[in-house]
Amino acid sequence: MRETRVLHVTAARVDVYRVGRGFADREKRFTNDASGLASLCAHLKMQRRAPLRVIADLADEDFHVEHLPLLRGAERREVLSRRLRQRFPDADLAMTISLGRIRGDRREERVMLGAFTGRQPGHAVLAALRQEDLPVTAIHSAAQLAPAMLVKMRMAEPRVLVVAIGAAGLRQTYVEDGRLRFSRLSGLSSRASESEDSAAQLHHETARMHQYLLASGVVQPDANIAVVHVSTSAHPDGSFEPGGDRVTWQSTAFATVARACGLRRWSDQDECEALAAYLAAASASREGYADESLHTELRRERRRDAATWACGVLASASLVATGATVIEASGLRAQMNELRSRTSAARIELEAVSAGLPALPTAVESLRAVERIERELLPLRASMDPLLKEISRSLDAVPQIELESVRWQRGAGPSPANGTDADAESAEIAGRVAGDARAVESFVSVLRQRPVIVIKDARLPFGASPGSRIAGDLGGAPDSGAPTFSLIIARRSGI
């Protein structure tokens, strides 16, 4: 709740209240006459230019219920304005309260028209405030605050008559279904200062009020009414028996009501007025009386509130965004420190590696080229010894074979089509057989068993293959020469 100034206006005086969250402190009291109003205006002008709310706790507040066609928007406002002018032609302050739609064939709305009739002392106050251009944003009658009080008290009864004795007198307000229906302010007799007399007068006035509500048709005869009496320290609850079965009496201590409404701090001298000021400060401005000048001031107040809120939202959003930015910047700074240290470490490592580079006898490219050439020449530098040793071992297995010659050469041996390497070595072997010519076949067989040897061509002593020609003299003298053969073998590389 924003701190607000509330003027409580009665016929005799004007009290200025400063209202904030949980408190309503009377700031100043003025008499409701010309000199008092001048002092009031002087006092208010000295204060900070803050919105003012006015509570008119005055008599001659008239209420009237009408049925209107169900309308909306500007059309409704126009009809209501016209009805108010017709009903209260001289009223400066008038208001309407919708009592809801009437269920039936005709689409109608029940509206209560209210106004302060006659030239009340409150008008002088408002006139003085307007003259001094003081920002009045809402005018409530004391009756209009009763529904808000009942809501805070969580009253479940549909028909409640609120009764309280304040500075202006005995205020009786009838509320039906949470809406103001009727209110009356009656003065207390001079004897009413004594508790017993005030209780008796309270009883009397309440009974009269009930009779009036029944007679005027505001309350149906069979309807129950709960009377809520707010008992103050000046006028405590007296012994009272409600009249009739339809009326129930509930007297509630002011402190209980105040706490229910959120008021924590008040003065014992003006309990009802402090509560009214507190409720008025918490109520929406549109719920009170208002003319066009008040609407202008209200709009100004709303715009100012909106601007203040906008500033607040903007500031909050900026602070949040700034916080996010600061967090991001902090993260970036941490990353940058990490990067700096890593870059520094990399630079040191680079300098160390650069410093530790050995003095090269030649260019790095030459080093690479020499390494590559050595690797690629390696197969060409292979000794012929392995192949020759393979032949030697095979000869050991077949001693009948006598070699005449071995011709070794690199390449020109088996081709890749044979499943061997083109760069492999090959050897052409020529020899003869001492003894049985079939030893050559054994020799070839032994060679075939060597995993690294591939036999490319074999010319044996007898061309036994079907594709070759053989001839001889089986009856003649035996041939004195030993059978000869030739083989071409190759060695698979990489085995």
Partner 1 sequence: MKNARRARLRELASVPIAAVAVAALAVAGWLFAQSELAALRAEHATLSAEHAAMSVRAARIAELRREADRSLAAYSRLVARGVIGGERRVAWLEFMTRLKSERRVHRVKYAIEPQRVLALPSADAGIAEIELRASRAELDLQAGHEGDLLGFLAGLHDVPGAWLVPRTCMLRRVSAAEAEVGAAPRLHALCSFDFVTLHDRRAEAIAR
Residues 363-382 that bind partner 1 (CB under 8 A): 363-374, 376-377, 380-382
In whole angstroms, the minimum distance from the beta carbon of 442 to partner 1 comes to: 20
If the CB atoms of residues 38 and 321 are measured against partner 1, the closer one turns out to be 321
Of the candidates 179, 259, 389, 459, which one interacts with partner 1 according to CB under 8 A? 389
Q: Is 90 in the site for partner 1 (CB under 8 A)?
A: no
Between β-strands 179-186 and 170-176, what pairing exists: parallel, antiparallel or unpaired?
antiparallel
Check binding of 308 to partner 1 (CB under 8 A): yes
385 is a site residue for partner 1 (CB under 8 A): yes
- In whole angstroms, how close is the CB of 112 to partner 1 at the nearest point? 34
For residue 333, the minimal CB distance to partner 1 (Å) is: 7
Nearest to 487 by CA among 432, 449, 437: 432
Which residue of 34, 127, 314, 422 would you call a contact of partner 1, by CB under 8 A? Answer: 314
Which region among 144-152, 230-238, 271-279, 331-339 touches partner 1 (by CB under 8 A)? Answer: 331-339
Using CB under 8 A, which residues numbered 33 to 52 contact partner 1?
Answer: 49
Task: Name the segment binding partner 1 (CB under 8 A); options: 215-223, 243-251, 304-312, 464-472.
Answer: 304-312
Which candidate, 50, 5, 3, places its Cα nearest to that of 28? Answer: 5
Q: Is 406 in the site for partner 1 (CB under 8 A)?
A: yes
If one asks whether residue 384 binds partner 1 (CB under 8 A), the answer comes out as yes
Beta pairing partners, 179: 176
Least distance in angstroms from the C-beta of 286 to partner 1: 20
**Shortest separation between residue 366's beta carbon and partner 1, angstroms:** 5
Distance in Å, CB of 486 to partner 1, minimum: 13
CA distance 108 to 100: 9
Q: How far apart are CA 94 and CA 84, in angstroms?
A: 7
Q: How is residue 338 written in tokens?
A: 């990490």
Pick the piece of the chain touching partner 1 (CB under 8 A) from 158-166, 269-277, 281-289, 383-391. 383-391
3-state DSSP assignment of residue 442: helix
Residue 65 in tokens: 């219920």
Among 193, 335, 415, 468, binds partner 1 (CB under 8 A): 335
CB 398 within 8 A of CB 446: yes
Residue 2 binds to partner 1 (criterion: CB under 8 A)? no
Backbone angles phi, psi at 423, to 5 degrees: -85, 0
Q: Which of 182, 176, 178, 170 is nearest to 143 (CA)?
A: 182
Decide whether 218 or 406 has the Cβ nearer to partner 1. 406
**With binding defined as CB under 8 A, does residue 403 bind partner 1?**
yes
CB 128, min distance to partner 1, A: 20
Size of the site for partner 1 (CB under 8 A): 72
Sole binder of partner 1 in the list 77, 340, 393, 459 (CB under 8 A): 340
Identity of residue 166: G
Q: Is 332 in the site for partner 1 (CB under 8 A)?
A: yes
Q: Quote the least distance from Cβ 483 to partner 1, whole Å.
A: 16
Structure-block tokens of residue 196: 């017993």
β-strands 453-459, 425-433: how paired?
Answer: unpaired
> What is the CB neighbour count within 10 angstroms for residue 289?
23
CA distance 141 to 128: 18
Q: What is the CA radius of gyration of the chain?
A: 60
Query: In this complex, which beta carbon is closest to partner 1, that of residue 191 or of residue 407?
Result: 407
89, 104, 221, 358: which one binds partner 1 (CB under 8 A): 358
User: Which string of x and - marks every residue 48-77 that binds partner 1 (by CB under 8 A)?
Assistant: -x----------------------------
Structure tokens at 167: 């500075």
What is d(CA 427, CA 410) in angstroms, rounded to the nearest whole number? Answer: 9
* Residue among 266, 244, 247 nearest 255 (CA): 266
CB 487 within 8 A of CB 391: no
366: Cβ contacts below 8 Å, ≥ 6 apart? none
